[in-house]
Structure 1
Amino acid sequence: MEHPHGGFDAGGDVSIWVVVVRLALLLVSALVAGSGLVVVVPHRVRAANFALAALAVGLVSVSVLVFDAHVLGGLAHGVLVVLVPVLLGRPVVRWVAAALTLLLVIETSVGDSGLLLVANTVYVAGAVAWVALSSSERFRQHALSLGVVLALAGLVRLVSSGIAFDRRVFTTLLGAGLVVVVLLPLAALGIRRAGTLAVAAGLLAWSGLAALPPPQELPVPGVPVLASAGKVPVLISPHRPGRNLVHFPASAGALTVGVGSSEVPAVPVAGADGTWAEVDLPAGRGSLTVRSGSGSSTVRFDTGTAPGPAPDVECASAALGGLLGGKREALTSCPADALSTEDADSLAKLVAFLKNKGVASVRLVSDSSPRGVQAAALVRSGLPVSDSGDALVVLSGWSSAFSALSRAGAEQAERPVYPHGLYVAPWLLTTPIATSVTTLAVPLRFDPREQLPIGYAVEVGNRFGGANPTPAGFRSWLGDRPAGSQVQIYAVAQVTAMPMGPGEAHGPGMPMQEELAGQWVPKATVVPVSPVLS
């Protein structure tokens, strides 16, 4: 019968008792249905059927009362399973047994369609037929065909799982279960007396497959790994031999990462979300251990032998966005390796905007990366640069930007500095950077309040433990889709409610509550403060 949420959610938080009750009910009901298809029923089978029906009714009651199973489904299941022993020996019992078998097929097919639905129907109905035929003298005439049909249905399930032709079929619980549902019907052919037990075990394994978590993707050298350590999402980047970053969401709490005999704590990094552990991975296949106060889990890796980019938090965020967008590509470059055409255009328009505001000079913060050097040269070509500039323009990487803005915020608290404000490059719209000061401005080609940016923000939050969005991740997640071509200056301010006049509607980007799904900077407002820049 249908349990909460329409059946088992593979990989979800399914209680072991829900699994036990469901599998027990399936087995008992299959035995009852099978006996109902028998022409002549011995007296001992009748007595056993009443006992099995009583047990099934008890399991149905537990499912409905304790596990919130569907009431109407439970009622139908209970009525059918009781009617079979009551009507045994009468022609009509076969119709009741067939209806019970159909109900078992429906209950075990939740979420299936197409070929998988056919395979499930064949396996469940075939197992019930085996129970019915096993008491017949003519059983041997049908056993071979029935066993082969069951094995073929299991083979369909195995091949459609996507792990039939790689090592996960031997190294994961799901793989073991899939092999069992194929082999047990064949094994039953050689053990006539215990054959029914083998088929019953195969049916239990078949139904239990839905409760097993899906195996993680096989790691590919150079493709960053997005996996789970227990219930904690984890990212390994760049996934090459040598120094790597292991990233966790802030919601994961205190964790350590072990590789071989070394163990490294995951700690916050300035300007970045979540926690990070720098570890050295050997060449080839292996696994690292993620430990918390409550236990440990392992995550497999396969770094290959070729070198890769240096570990970098922005690069890792870009890799995460690509993985969430469905791209499993080797990481060969990072955002800081070059100033993109889009960012160069945005910075050029920022320079023109500042000149039009009457900014005489700016204080510049950059770094030695190729992107930082090119961006600094672009700004210097349009505006004078001095330590006492009217505005602060930050073009560095995440950590340097966080430090520079934190210092600027402290300076502003002591004396009037930067009268024309604080500006950051488009790649610096991360939550830690944006909230390091009371307000700052950034030239963007996309509106964080529109559908695509919100969709990415929601997805990264849902799939990586509440993580916040980043421009690098958004660009990778977008792939070939354009983010926008028009540049505007957006102000980021740590305010979440704006005073409104009587009857005045909300201004876009001015939420009246702190936590909204898809916000780019939680507990802050991101709104345009300039027209489209030409």
Structure 2
Amino acid sequence: MDHHDVVATGSSTVDIAALLLRLVLLLATAFLAGTGLLRPLVGELSRKVWITVGALGVLSAALAVVSALTVDVNVLALVVHVVLALAVPVLLRRPSAGRWASVALIVLVVLETSLGASGIDFAVDTVYVAGAAIWFGVTLLSGAEWRTTNFRRGPLSLTIGGLLVLAGVVQLALSGIGFDRRLYGTLFGVALIVIIVLPIAVTTAAGFLLKHGESRVYRYGVAGVALGFVAWSALAAVPQPVPLPIPGVPLLAHAEGSPVLVSPQRPGRNIVHLPASAGDDVSVGVQGGLIGKAFPRPGAEGIWADVDLPQGRSDLVIRKGDRETTIEVDAGQDAGPVISDADAPECAGAAFGGLIANRSDVLTSCPADGLSAEDSDALVKLVNFLAGRKPSGITLVEDKSPRGIAAAKVVRDTAAKSGLPVQPDAGPNTALLVTAGWADGYVAMTRAAESQRLKPTHQYGLYLAPWLFNGPIVNSVASSSLPLRFDPREQLAVTYAVAVHNAFGGESPTVAGFHSWLGGQNQTARGEVQMFAAAQVNAMPMYPNEPHAPGMVMNRDYAGQWVPNGTIVPVSNVLR
């Protein structure tokens, strides 16, 4: 039976009851399995042992059935558990058969206490569970006459204690907590301390008690081993603490079921981002300070809030309606990069790409801080492409960011070589080219869409710089074109888009985030430049209540799209 899904249900009483049920079930089963495993090594059993083992079998089977009524379990595993739990007491008169039933029951307990991992995690779990079960078995059978002198219970106690300590240390290493404050400040960390410290105490006590009798070692030590086993079993149900915030590394956390992105996580101005799915009644601020409402921003998805973080650790408050959640942040002492208000969402998107690739990169700069060689080359090829179409001129929309200034210069210099005028005003026979950031780019495109609706304007098309390939921007017009070095329909780009969608409440991918996500594979997004057209299309328009064929996908807002509810296709050969 899999009991790993003991998670918050909205009622702490139900959660605690389910956890206690799980722990008693596994502890009783471990005592039962350990006793059956060692039964062939002893002679006649006392009436007390018979009654105890029978009671453990009935208790284990009953709790397994009750457990099935409270949490989702595998029905087949439930049946196997009940059969084995009842078989061990019945087979006490047939020790060999009972041993195999006990081995199967121990394996089942290992699966039930496992942390859901494999490999070394599963091996460590097996060592801890089997060691504890053997200790329990020796304890219950301590009053019986042992048939063989080869089974030396005294040295075995030291071996079991040492193995439990070793398994606990390995589990601590695998947890990633180390010796930071999560080890003593979270329930998961305290459980790790228990599974290490108690076996150490038991092993030390065993070394001193051996001269007073082997049975006394197990009777005195069983309480410590049992508590350690309970703590070990609880690890699978206790939420593992989130990684500690690292100053300068943007933080991805969760509040009220919604992801929260904090960047750059440095003293002073920070931007906090939540997806649109978080709702519009969200306020953000520092504990003890001002709490401000989060708002949408032009050219970006979701909602955003500016928050001033103090130096060092503090608590970020996320208030959603009448519910409030706090997130620990650590801005450190050093100043972070200066991020302009207009470029903050794009910068946050770039940071997010690295986070979902499981990298902890300190944010030192933003995409708008400079024009990359690849983007400069793409703009040159875009202007030459436009020159071949012979518009009367290029209407250029730029901004004052370092990237925007450099991009405008590239456009003007390239257009001058082709004799193509660059003008600030719109005209019917011009092409619109936007090299500004997200905010100004979104405004420029929405104005262009309105101008085209009223009169002939930009009849040679609307063109965007590569970094403006973002859902809200391209969807602000019916169609737009831009030079890209990767195909958004190919597997790697779609994989990134799905990762963003899943990790951040259905949000769309960004070019800057894609580059960060690729990391060392960034050459994949540095291929030859090709013109792509983004458009809002619906190839099969249908009325809301119109029936459709079975299996037809009607919801077009699915993961993996770079253009929400639209499409992106190549419209040129490779530009030389």
Shared fold (TM-score, shorter chain, > 0.5): yes
Question: Displacement, 1:19?
Answer: 4.2
Residues 388-438 of structure 1, C-alpha deviation per residue, up to 9 Å, x if partnerless?
341211111111111111112122222221111211111011111111122
Residue equivalent to 2:454: 414
**SS of match in other structure, 1:88:** helix
Is the Cα contact below 8 Å between 1:10 and 1:214 reproduced in 2? no
Instruction: Give the letter aligned to residue 206 of structure 1.
Output: W
**SS of match in other structure, 1:486:** coil
Residue equivalent to 1:441: 481
Residue equivalent to 1:172: 186
Question: Displacement, 1:33?
Answer: 1.9
User: Are residues 441 and 131 of structure 1, via their aligned partners in 2, closer, same or farther at CA, if it must alter by over 3 Å?
Assistant: same
TM-score normalized with structure 1 length: 0.90
Residue equivalent to 2:225: 199
Question: Displacement, 1:498?
Answer: 6.2
Match of 1:210 among 236, 241, 258: 236
Q: Is the aligned partner of 1:342 residue 2:342?
A: no
In structure 1, list runs of 5 or more residues that go unmatched. 500-510
Output aligned runs, 1:266-305, within 5 Å.
266-293=294-321, 295-305=323-333
Is the Cα contact below 8 Å between 2:449 and 2:476 reproduced in 1? yes
Question: Displacement, 1:115?
Answer: 3.1
Match of 1:258 among 285, 290, 298: 285
C-alpha distance in structure 2 between counterparts of 1:139 and 1:89, whole Å: 23
C-alpha distance in structure 1 between counterparts of 2:71 and 2:265, whole Å: 42
Is the Cα contact below 8 Å between 1:35 and 1:41 reproduced in 2? no
**SS of match in other structure, 2:520:** coil
Residue equivalent to 2:123: 118
Question: Displacement, 1:463?
Answer: 1.3
C-alpha distance in structure 1 between counterparts of 2:120 and 2:197, whole Å: 20
Is the Cα contact below 8 Å between 1:41 and 1:88 reproduced in 2? no
Instruction: Give the letter aligned to residue 45 of structure 1.
Output: V
TM-score normalized with structure 2 length: 0.84
Is the Cα contact below 8 Å between 2:136 and 2:222 reproduced in 1? yes
Residue equivalent to 1:454: 494
**SS of match in other structure, 1:233:** strand
**SS of match in other structure, 1:152:** helix
Identity %: 49
Residue equivalent to 2:76: 72
Output aligned runs, 1:223-234, within 5 Å.
223-234=249-260
Match of 2:395 among 357, 363, 377: 363
Instruction: Give the letter aligned to residue 273 of structure 1.
Output: E
Residue equivalent to 1:42: 46
Residue equivalent to 1:246: 272
Output aligned runs, 1:93-132, within 5 Å.
93-109=98-114, 111-132=116-137
C-alpha distance in structure 2 between counterparts of 1:372 and 1:414, whole Å: 29
Q: Is the aligned partner of 1:146 residue 2:173?
A: no
Residues 240-296 of structure 1, C-alpha deviation per residue, up to 9 Å, x if partnerless?
110000111111223222303221222211111111110000112222122223633
C-alpha distance in structure 1 between counterparts of 2:530 and 2:350, whole Å: 23
C-alpha distance in structure 1 between counterparts of 2:107 and 2:308, whole Å: 55
Stretch of structure 1 that moved more, 88-97 or 134-143: 134-143
Residue equivalent to 1:377: 409
**SS of match in other structure, 2:360:** coil
Is the Cα contact below 8 Å between 1:54 and 1:82 reproduced in 2? yes
Question: Displacement, 1:331?
Answer: 1.2
Instruction: Give the letter aligned to residue 533 of structure 2.
Output: A
Q: RMSD in angstroms over aligned alpha carbons?
A: 2.7
Stretch of structure 1 that moved more, 387-396 or 511-520: 511-520
Residue equivalent to 2:441: 401
**SS of match in other structure, 1:257:** strand
Match of 1:54 among 42, 46, 58: 58
Question: Displacement, 1:323?
Answer: 1.6
C-alpha distance in structure 1 between counterparts of 2:409 and 2:35, whole Å: 84
C-alpha distance in structure 1 between counterparts of 2:466 and 2:6, whole Å: 40
Is the Cα contact below 8 Å between 1:30 and 1:128 reproduced in 2? yes
Question: Displacement, 1:66?
Answer: 5.8
Instruction: Give the letter aligned to residue 372 of structure 1.
Output: G
C-alpha distance in structure 1 between counterparts of 2:115 and 2:266, whole Å: 41
C-alpha distance in structure 2 between counterparts of 1:348 and 1:141, whole Å: 79
Is the Cα contact below 8 Å between 2:532 and 2:572 reproduced in 1? yes
Question: Displacement, 1:321?
Answer: 0.6
Question: Displacement, 1:485?
Answer: 2.1
Q: Is the aligned partner of 1:423 residue 2:463?
A: yes
User: Are residues 193 and 370 of structure 1, via their aligned partners in 2, closer, same or farther at CA, if it must alter by over 3 Å?
Assistant: same
Residue equivalent to 2:560: 518
User: Are residues 448 and 12 of structure 1, via their aligned partners in 2, closer, same or farther at CA, if it must alter by over 3 Å?
Assistant: farther
